[in-house]
Amino acid sequence: MSASENNAPTTRADGRAVDQLRNVRVTRGFTTNPAGSVLVEFGDTRVMCTASVSEGVPRFKRDSGEGWLTAEYAMLPSATAERMQREAVKGKVKGRTQEISRLVGRSLRAAVDLRALGENTVNIDCDVLQADGGTRTASITGAYVALADALAVLKKRGVMPGEPLLAPVAAVSVGIVDGVACLDLPYEEDSRADVDMNVVMTEQGRFVEIQGTGENAEFSRDELSVMLDLAEGGLRELTALQRAALAADLGETVTL
C-alpha cells in the first residue's frame, strides 16, 4: 500500500496550500476563574485551555522539591458532527481521551522546569467546544499560553523557588491525503488520510514528541521527511503566535 507520490504545493478543499496553517486564533483571559484561560482556534476547531494552580504535589512527588503538571483533555458531547455520549455518564474515559490527555501532559511538562516550580501543581484542562480535526495539537498549542499565565500568577504569590517557564512548545498535525503531504488537517482531510502524524516541538526546533500512524497505508522514510519539513514550518509560525499572544492584552484575540 503506497502513499504519497508528489508533494508539489497544490490547493486543498478549503483553498489552502499544502504548507499552510488554518486561521489560528488565540484569546487569553477567556474565563476568569482559572489562573490561565485561553480559547484557541485552529479554523473551526475551538478548544478552551485552562491552567489551574494549587500548592502541594501528588503523593509520588511529595518531598521531591519538584512540582508537577498534569493534563486532562475532553470533548463536549456536542463538539462533533454527530453528538457523542458523555464519558461521565458512561462512567468510563475512552482510550482515545486518556491517550491525548497523557500526550498533552508530557508535552507541557517539556515547557516547565519542575524544580524551579517547587512543590506546586498545575492542572491543564483542554475542553473541546467544537471539533474539526487537530484538537490535540490545538490543545497543546493553547495550553502553553494558559500555562504561562498560570505561572505568572504563582510567581505573584511568591510561592515558587525559581522561574519554571521554558520556551514555547507547540504542536501541529501533518498527514498524507490523496498521496500529498499536507499541514494542519481539518476533519474532512484527517478522516480520509493515509497517514496521520502529530508533531510537538520546542521553539528551538527540537522534537518533544512525534506520533505517526499509517492507518490506511504505510509510509516511507522519504515521506516522513517531507511531513517533518511541513511540520517544522508550521510550528515556527505557531510558536511566534504564542509569543505574540503573551505580549498582547488579556481578552484580545491574536491571529496569524
52 binds a copy of itself (CB under 8 A): yes
B/e letters for 15-36, b = 16+ CB within 10 Å, e = fewer, are ebebbbbbebbbbbbbeeebbb
Residue 233 known to bind ligand:
no
Q: Any idea what DSSP says for residue 244?
A: H
37 binds a copy of itself (CB under 8 A): yes
Q: Any idea what DSSP says for residue 17?
A: B
Q: Please say which residue, 169 or 182, places its beta carbon nearer to a copy of itself.
A: 169
Residue 157 makes CB contacts below 8 A (sequence gap 6+) with none
In 36-167, where does DSSP find H-type helix?
A: 87-90, 95-109, 114-117, 135-157
Q: Mask 56-75, x = binds a copy of itself (CB under 8 A)? A: ----------------x-x-
Q: Mask 137-176, x = binds a copy of itself (CB under 8 A)? A: ----------------------------------------
Is the torsion defined by CA of 156, 159, 162, 164 positive or negative? negative
**Only segment of 154-162, 175-183, 211-219, 245-253 that touches a copy of itself (CB under 8 A):** 211-219
CA angle 196, 199, 202 (to 5 degrees): 175
Q: Where does this chain bind a copy of itself (CB under 8 A)?
A: 1, 31-34, 37, 44, 46, 48, 50, 52, 54, 72, 74, 76-81, 83, 86-93, 95-99, 101-102, 106, 109-110, 123, 125, 127, 129-131, 197, 201-202, 204-215, 218-221, 224, 228
